[in-house]
């Protein structure tokens, strides 16, 4: 539903009157943010501390569908409450033009605080593994950027990400990730981190922030105070880190301090327990357990450490409050109270809004949290402090004004042209090539002219990746036109087909994609692809053939395939849903694997280095012995 032109004019007039009144108050000695705060109801204040998502809705048939327009029930909620922000997802960004239109409808419908204030709008667009622009440019990702060891390139990559996000109209991104990935078994951070070294993470984070800011995008450091040394994903469990404050300062907090010093705008919290630092507990009404407060709900972390010791003056935003740890142990209202009193400014995704009941639940949530404040169960001082920070932040960034809904179709057309453009994809491809790292080469590369090859991929979406790369090399004259390099889906091969390939092909390129270290155990259900690669290597060697393994995601699998004749890392193996040579704008795809294949098949120079230490294997697990040290690569 779209607000009519007549209604818009009336709202604009009302906004001008309100702004005049606000200006009069400011002239009397109050700042603009303070004047607005003094006129707000308690419900408006609570709404200003929320950043809900409206990713999907449930249609008449009961199926969830992507939300690309403001429906009447959603508009009623937006008109009622001035939410401080809205986070958008890939569901809202299937098409860049539609994303522009939807964002405009959201801002117009909300008409936040009578035209005095816009909503902050964010996208979880980290680059690499976590991206939300369906037809945008994925970029190589943080670990790949660190492998290239070029801060100017990192800055350029972030500027491109920020530029595409701003072209849609969003305020900024929930990036960069500045967690130090010093736990190889980390199931949720891994290649989203720049490195396992805090100094590398710090310098990369600062370059990333410079790039975002150059594009006009706000930057968010996450996940404070550090999610890299955990082996539990807080989306699905309860991570706990047994470290002292001094230990955190020596490692995890260093990149956050560097990011704060570089002018980061927001810091996102982590739902992680730190029993040696935060002693506060909560008796869970859900499970009956007494649980330690996570950093998200800890005043020690968010006020004493982040604001007091580290000097952060921007906005503190929670990670999504519908993640398992919070949902499984905390009453939602208690979680809101604890978060606000701890020093949180924006509560991310407090309620699932994908149904009509969900929209009503968000309405009830605002009223109930406001009632807590009105009854003294939630500190009104903490509420006012947080709201003033949000409003002052918006004032600083020119958002204490009415949203201007002009030239929507022109902006939509520009977004469809620029976001995910062919030029941007060429930029990300060039960057991905800079990251490719040769770790072993037992006289295999470059191959002799005319030698037969095959590419084996562990996921079907990577078949097109291989075919696209081979065709591109032919088009560029780097492979003869009659070259035949088949690309086969590894799990579809029968034992007989696998044996035939090994017997008839002189060189086999096999891609390994490991997301969790448990996948390295070939005897486990998760290790089926590892088991297939083991068979390929054994059969190929029995036939006197060479095997190159490309580590497509977590580089720790380099230690697992020591029997291979060559090892290459590229730090990202997302496939291609569409052929970039035939579709424009194409759906986002991973540039890392085609970059690795391109350099291998063309004999190109690999300049990347390992951004993390690779431990040696001890049975089916990683040991404490470093096999390939950080910065290692073949000369």
Neighbouring C-beta atoms of residue 42, cutoff 10 Å = 19
* Number of domain units in the chain: 2
Q: Is residue 182 situated within a structural domain?
A: yes
Q: For residue 318, which phi and psi values (nearest 5 degrees)? A: -75, 160
Q: Is residue 428 situated within a structural domain?
A: no
Identify the three-state secondary structure at position 524.
coil
Q: Which residues contact 337 (CB under 8 A, 6 or more apart)?
A: 369, 372, 377, 378
pLDDT of residue 13: 40
Q: Is residue 634 situated within a structural domain?
A: no
DSSP-assigned beta bridge partners for residue 266? 220, 315
Tell whether omega for the bond before 142 is within 30 degrees of 0, i.e. cis. Answer: no
Domain co-membership, 237 together with 95: yes
Q: Is residue 429 situated within a structural domain?
A: no
Domain co-membership, 289 together with 361: yes
Could you give the dihedral angle defined by the CA atoms of residues 81, 82, 83 and 87, in that order, rounded to the nearest 10 degrees? 110
Any catalytic annotation for residue 482? Answer: no
Any catalytic annotation for residue 319? Answer: yes
Q: Is residue 431 situated within a structural domain?
A: no
pLDDT of residue 186: 84
Domain co-membership, 409 together with 485: no
Out of 319, 345, 546, 565, the active site residue is 319
Tell me the two tokens of residue 415: 């977004």
pLDDT of residue 23: 43
Q: How many residues does the chain have?
A: 635
Domain co-membership, 80 together with 184: yes
CATH number at residue 397: 3.20.20.300
Tell me the two tokens of residue 304: 């004493």
Domain co-membership, 556 together with 440: yes
Identify the domain containing residue 589 by its residue range: 436-628
Distance CA 49, CA 373 (A): 13
Domain co-membership, 31 together with 73: yes
pLDDT in tens, 213-266: 999 999 999 999 999 877 666 665 678 999 999 999 999 999 999 999 999 999
Cα–Cα nearest to 271, from 339, 206, 211:
339
Q: Is residue 423 situated within a structural domain?
A: no
- Which residue ranges in the chain fall short of pLDDT 70? 1-30, 231-237
**Which CA distances in Å does 574 have to 138, 374, 459?**
10, 50, 9
Q: Is residue 112 situated within a structural domain?
A: yes
Domain co-membership, 351 together with 499: no
Neighbouring C-beta atoms of residue 212, cutoff 10 Å = 28
Domain co-membership, 598 together with 449: yes
Domain co-membership, 446 together with 390: no
Domain co-membership, 410 together with 442: no
Distance CA 162, CA 159 (A): 5
Out of 66, 98, 233, 235, the active site residue is 235
Tell me the two tokens of residue 104: 């405009």
DSSP-assigned beta bridge partners for residue 175? none
pLDDT of residue 76: 95
**Which CA distances in Å does 278 have to 275, 291, 305?**
6, 11, 11
Distance CA 536, CA 105 (A): 54
Q: Is residue 561 situated within a structural domain?
A: yes
Tell me the two tokens of residue 401: 């004004």
Domain co-membership, 70 together with 163: yes
Domain co-membership, 402 together with 462: no
pLDDT in tens, 472-520: 999 999 999 999 999 999 999 999 999 999 999 999 999 999 999 999 9
CA Rg value for the chain? 26
CATH number at residue 505: 3.40.50.1700
């Amino acid at each position: 539903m779209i607000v009519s032109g007549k209604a818009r004019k009336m709202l604009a007039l009302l906004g001008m009157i309100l702004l005049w009144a606000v200006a009069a108050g400011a002239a009397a000695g109050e700042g603009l943010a303070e004047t607005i705060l003094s006129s707000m109801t308690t419900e408006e204040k609570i709404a200003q501390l929320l950043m809900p998502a409206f990713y999907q809705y449930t249609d008449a048939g009961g199926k969830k569908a992507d939300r690309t327009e403001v429906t009447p029930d959603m508009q009623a909620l937006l008109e009622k409450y001035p939410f401080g922000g809205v986070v958008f997802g890939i569901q809202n960004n299937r098409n860049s033009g539609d994303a522009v239109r939807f964002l405009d409808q959201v801002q117009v419908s909300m008409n936040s605080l009578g035209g005095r204030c816009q909503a902050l709008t964010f996208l979880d667009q980290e680059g690499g593994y976590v991206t939300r622009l369906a037809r945008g440019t994925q970029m190589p990702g943080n670990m790949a950027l660190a492998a290239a060891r070029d801060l100017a390139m990192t800055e350029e990559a972030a500027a491109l990400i920020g530029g595409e996000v701003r072209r849609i109209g969003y305020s900024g991104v929930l990036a960069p990730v500045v967690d130090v990935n010093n736990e190889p078994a980390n199931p949720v951070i891994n290649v989203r981190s720049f490195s396992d070294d805090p100094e590398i993470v710090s310098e990369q984070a600062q370059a990333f922030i410079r790039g975002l800011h150059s594009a006009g995008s706000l930057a968010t450091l996450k996940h404070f105070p550090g999610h890299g040394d955990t082996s539990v994903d807080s989306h699905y469990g309860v991570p706990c880190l047994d470290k002292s404050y001094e230990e955190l300062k020596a490692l995890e907090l260093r990149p956050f301090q560097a990011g704060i010093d570089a002018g980061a705008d927001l810091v996102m919290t982590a739902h992680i327990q730190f029993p040696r630092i935060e002693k506060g507990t909560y008796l869970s009404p859900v499970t009956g357990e007494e649980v330690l407060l996570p950093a998200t709900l800890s005043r020690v972390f968010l006020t004493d450490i982040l604001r007091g010791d580290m000097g952060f003056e921007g906005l503190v935003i929670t990670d999504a409050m519908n993640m398992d740890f919070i949902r499984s142990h905390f009453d939602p209202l208690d979680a809101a109270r604890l978060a606000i009193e701890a020093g949180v400014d924006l509560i991310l995704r407090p309620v699932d809004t994908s149904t009509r009941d969900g929209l009503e639940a968000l309405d009830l949530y605002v009223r109930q949290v406001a009632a807590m404040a009105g009854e003294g169960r939630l500190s009104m001082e903490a509420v006012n402090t947080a709201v003033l920070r949000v409003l002052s932040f918006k004032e600083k960034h020119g958002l204490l004004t009415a949203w201007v809904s002009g030239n929507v179709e022109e902006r939509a057309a520009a977004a469809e042209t620029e976001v995910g453009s062919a030029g941007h994809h060429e930029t990300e491809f060039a960057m991905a090539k800079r990251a490719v790292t040769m770790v072993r080469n037992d006289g295999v590369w470059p191959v002799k002219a005319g030698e037969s090859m095959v590419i084996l991929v562990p996921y079907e979406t990577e078949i097109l990746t291989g075919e696209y790369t081979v065709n591109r090399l032919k088009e560029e004259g780097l492979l003869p036109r009659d070259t035949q390099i088949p690309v086969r889906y590894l799990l579809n091969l029968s034992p007989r087909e696998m044996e035939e390939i090994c017997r008839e092909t002189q060189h086999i390129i096999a891609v390994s994609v490991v997301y969790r270290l448990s996948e390295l155990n070939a005897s486990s259900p998760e290790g089926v692809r590892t088991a297939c690669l083991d068979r390929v290597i054994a059969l190929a060697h029995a036939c006197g053939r060479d095997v190159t393994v490309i580590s497509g995601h977590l580089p720790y699998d380099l230690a697992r395939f020591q029997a291979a004749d060559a090892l290459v890392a590229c730090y990202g193996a997302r496939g291609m849903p569409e052929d970039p040579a035939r579709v424009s704008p194409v759906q986002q795809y991973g540039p890392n694997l085609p970059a690795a294949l391109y350099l291998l098949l063309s004999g190109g120079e690999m300049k990347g280095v390992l951004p993390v230490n690779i431990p040696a294997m001890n049975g089916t697990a990683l040991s404490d012995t470093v096999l390939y040290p950080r910065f290692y690569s073949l000369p």
